[in-house]
A and B are shown apart, each in its own frame.
Chain A
Amino acid sequence: MIERTPVLNIATHAILVVGLLIAFLPMWLVFVAATLTIEQINNPPISLLPGSELIANLTAAWNRAQLGSKMLNSLFVALLVASGKIAIASLTAFAIVFFRFPGRMVVFWMIFVTLMLPLEVRIVPTYAVAANALAPAQAVLEVVGIAWLWQVLTGVKLALEWNLLNSYTGLVLPLVATATGTFLFRQFYMTIPAEIVEAARMDGARPLRFLRDMLIPLSKTNMAALFTIMFIYAWNQYLWPILVTTDRANYGTAVMELKRLIPTSASTGGGTPDWNVAMAGCLIVMLPPLVVVALMQRYFVRGLIGADK
């Protein structure tokens, strides 16, 4: 602003620098720790300048936690969840905004209310569903009598089963439904001028053609924003992966492995805790989301705040 406040300006910079310290110091300490030898790290006071062992520690962490396959798993799952959320949210919003089937607002509210049902509060029964994702369908069929009919007609008892434990489907599918994404797309579609829709229809565009040639190109920014947020969200998942994957060698994700890198008296056999390796692993695991944020900075903030401003 248009005033001279030299003292306050210095104070402002001082406060912001403290803010930068809060944001960066912990991760700087992690980085420094990842460059030290096991003797250096267990010899307080801790050094604030990096040592020379970064590559050795990174390699040790990479091998110990088998991060190669874990990082690939994480990448695969995060990409699937993010693109799944975008696909499903844009389709649902498209149907709700551009069609007039009965019950569409009920569907919208049903999806919206899931905001109030985070995974953590329904964790045990959701796990039970993951053990057989068709159990709800089976129960419904039994109640309406189709299961009974099936048994009478074919003589075989109807037993639907689809186990999601230890599978990519199990890691991805329960995370794909998205209230916020659907809401974001709905808000955006509602700003599309009626003239565009009319024009498209007059030119003979069918619904899916309109979606492909008009809506999707128009919502690229929204998709990028949602993708950034959802990729980070999916990569950083912890509770759900540790529940659905007991077969860690094949389906473990990188974030799950973090805990195993922490030196405890059990893992070191009473020896010196090798925090240097744990911190190197921590660096590797948190890198991909940071790369995404660095590349998509603009969309990241936009996606967080929401596009309705």
Chain B
Amino acid sequence: MENRPHFKTLWLGVLLVLPQLLLVLTFFYWPTGAALFWAFTLEQPWGGGSQFVGLDNFSNIFTDRFYWESVLRSLVFGVGASALAMGIALVLALFCDRQLRGYAYYRTALVWPFAVAAPAAAVAFRYIFAPEAGVFAALNQLYPNLWNPATNGDHAMIMIIIAYSWKYVAYNFIFFLAGLQAIPRSLVEAGAMDGAGVLRRMRDIQLPLLTPTFFFLLVINLTDSFVDSFGIVDITTEGGPSKATTLMVYKIYFDGFKGLDYSGAAAQSIVLMVLVMTLTVVQFRYIERRIHYK
């Protein structure tokens, strides 16, 4: 690549990267630096500047029961949503890839939920799961409060997992299908010649060859579940009932903007950042597949 022909005007090259460089420095690196600064300092009440407090902010959040509960809930949410979205998508992709009649229609139809705004999906599922109207109202007529995400934390968690995963089924489906189609047809045909049935070929040829895609998607799904869940939570439950759906990202928003605890929110941001970075590094270092398109 170093031998590629190139243009000699250096200043023009610099000029062309400048806009994006400035944007990245202003809106990414500066705020990240500020988060680090806030995480290690404490703002004096009534002005008076910031005081360096070392790891105090971190030890505060790590000894806070509510923080650990939000971490635990984020894990439950992340694992639940990833399992649901990836499981359904994998089955659909495996069978769609058989390319029976109507294949093109199935493929097109299964992709579209990804274009629906997460908040719109959240409003939809909030209605569908509403205890007083929607689908579950009939259930509640049989027995009052059999289903009520407004008061039952477990119900609320189930609701946000389903509302969030719905869209990611479509996303994962696209990638699984692409992964399946990247498997050389001759391998599957050779399996058929050797007498392996459809299901046997799925289990012993396609699934093992799909492992890279699987791990790639697992990392993406987990990462996104940590950062992309804000809209769903804010619209369906606002973190309630009694904090049962306050995930890490929602707690940062809440502590920062409602509680005005910048130092605490910054320390939580740094923890989440480290988590996201670890997952991303794992993805590039060990899975190094295609990148995530946002």
Contacts and interface: CB of A to CB of B under 8 A. Distances in A.
A56 interface: no
Contact of B280 (A99, A116, A255, A292): A116
A120 B127 contact: no
Contacts of A282: 120, 123-124, 127
A95 B138 contact: no
A236 interface: yes
> Helix, strand, loop or mixed for chain A's interface?
helix
A240 to B, nearest CB: 10
Contacts of B249: 120-121
A92 B31 contact: no
Contacts of B40: none
Contacts of A303: 293
A146 interface: no
Candidate in A16, A41, A45, A94 with the most chain B CB atoms within 10 angstroms: A16
Interface string A1-35: 11101001100110110011011101101100100
B286 to A, nearest CB: 15
A173 B265 CA distance: 24
A98 B7 contact: yes
Contacts of A188: none
B134 A46 contact: yes
Interface in B223-277: 227-228, 230-231, 234-235, 249, 252-253, 256-257, 262, 265-266, 269, 272-273, 276-277
A259 B115 contact: no
A115 B116 contact: no
A173 to B, nearest CB: 7
Contact of B269 (A97, A123, A258, A261): A123
B138 to A, nearest CB: 4
Nearest to B165: A22
B180 to A, nearest CB: 12
B198 interface: yes
Given A129-B26, A286-B117, A304-B171, A101 B13 contact: yes
Contacts of B9: 99, 207
A238 interface: yes
A128 B31 contact: yes
Interface in A175-200: 176-178, 180, 182-184, 190, 194, 197-198
B285 interface: no
A118 B27 contact: no
Contact of A177 (B23, B120, B192, B198): B23
Nearest to B117: A236
A98 B280 CA distance: 28
Given A12-B98, A92-B16, A255-B119, 11 more contacts: A9-B100, A41-B133, A92-B19, A98-B6, A99-B6, A125-B32, A173-B27, A177-B20, A180-B292, A275-B133, A304-B174
Interface of B: 1, 3-7, 9-10, 12-17, 19-21, 23-32, 34-35, 38, 88, 91-92, 95-96, 98, 100, 102, 106, 108-128, 130, 132-135, 137-138, 140-141, 166, 169-171, 174-175, 178, 182, 188-189, 192, 197-199, 227-228, 230-231, 234-235, 249, 252-253, 256-257, 262, 265-266, 269, 272-273, 276-277, 280-281, 290-294
15 contacts: A98-B6, A121-B276, A122-B273, A124-B252, A126-B27, A128-B31, A129-B31, A207-B12, A236-B119, A236-B120, A279-B123, A282-B123, A300-B115, A304-B174, A308-B290
